[in-house]
Amino acid sequence: MKIHIERKPKKDKQPKKAKTMHVGTHKKSVLFLWVLLLSSLAFGIYKNFTAIDTHTVHEKTTIETELVDTSAIESFTRNFVYTFYAWENNKEALEQRPERIQHYLTPELQELNSETIRTNIPTSATVTGVQLWQIEALDETNYSVVYTVQQEIKEGKETKQISSTFRITVHQDKDKNLVITTNPTIWKKPTQSNFQPEQPTNDSTIKETTQKEIVTFLETFFQLYPTASKSELNYYVAKDVLPLIDTDLTFSNLLDPVIQKQDGHYIVHVAVKYLDPVTKSDIIAQYQFVLTKEDNWKIIQYGIL
């Protein structure tokens, strides 16, 4: 007899689940990264609020002009001119001339000029005037001087007036001693400039009544001004704008006053004619004033704003 045993088929084994690694925030390395990130963010915010504005600084170089006292050079040059350009046509005086000019010239220049005025020269010369045109520093110890000398030249009974311009170089040592190092060289005399300043014109927007007030004020002031006391001057003029002159002049009239308005003030260009009782001549003074009116008209500035 056969026995049949029925077996149930085996179930397929289910696949094992893959293990998952969980990185928790409790790990030290992760905490460190979070701290670093938060610190960087906080530092950035702090720098944004506390940052100092930066800008490019443009340095300005201020060159101050050093004032050089040239009064010694001026006096030295004048004395030289009066000595060098004057002579008499007699032997004794001419023989003494080299000794006089040696106080101004280097030995080389003394030798160079030893025979410029001959002992038999037929003329005599007198210096009647000296005009210094320029004293220019060539370096720390040498100066260029341009001057004009006026001479009266006599020859026999004839007399002439002449004028000549020269340039020399003067050396000044550390002890302020002076000597001429280049011989007088013929130079160009400065001439009159053709510059013409712009002429002011009246402001047509100013009321006629205001113009008349200003003219009346000026006439009153200039009648008083030559002999005005300090208290009288202070009534018409702001402090220290004009000096006391205490001069006996007689006011004549204003010459073509020009009035302009600027920034609430009035600018006046005016010439004033006075009679000098001593010389009996007219004196014409020119002024530029800034006027304002509060309780009364007052000069608040000499010159233009």
Whole-model pTM: value is 0.67
pLDDT (0 to 100) of residue 69: 87
pLDDT (0 to 100) of residue 182: 98
The yes or no reply on domain 208-302 and CATH 3.10.450.540 is yes
The CA dihedral of 116, 120, 123, 126, to the nearest 10 degrees, is 60
Please count the residues of the chain. 305
Q: Do the domains 208-302 and 71-186 match in fold?
A: yes
pLDDT (0 to 100) of residue 48: 65
Domain ranges of the chain: 71-186, 208-302
Distances (CA, A) of 180 to 143, 164, 185: 10, 19, 12
Residue by residue, pLDDT tens for the chain (305 residues) are 444 545 555 555 555 555 555 555 555 666 667 777 777 777 676 666 665 555 555 566 666 656 678 999 999 999 999 999 999 989 888 999 999 999 999 999 999 999 899 989 999 999 999 999 999 999 999 999 999 999 999 999 999 999 999 999 999 999 999 999 999 999 999 999 999 999 999 999 999 999 999 999 999 999 999 999 999 999 999 999 999 999 999 999 999 999 999 999 999 999 999 999 999 999 999 999 999 998 899 999 998 64
Looking at 1.10.30.50, 2.40.30.30, 3.40.50.720, 3.10.450.540, the CATH number of the domain 71-186 comes to 3.10.450.540
Distances (CA, A) of 297 to 216, 241, 254: 10, 14, 17
Burial (CB count within 10 angstroms: exposed 0-12, middle 13-18, buried 19+), residue 12: exposed
CA distance 147 to 193: 18
The maximal CA–CA distance of the chain, rounded, in angstroms, is 192
pLDDT (0 to 100) of residue 70: 92
Closest CA to 284 of 274, 292, 294: 274
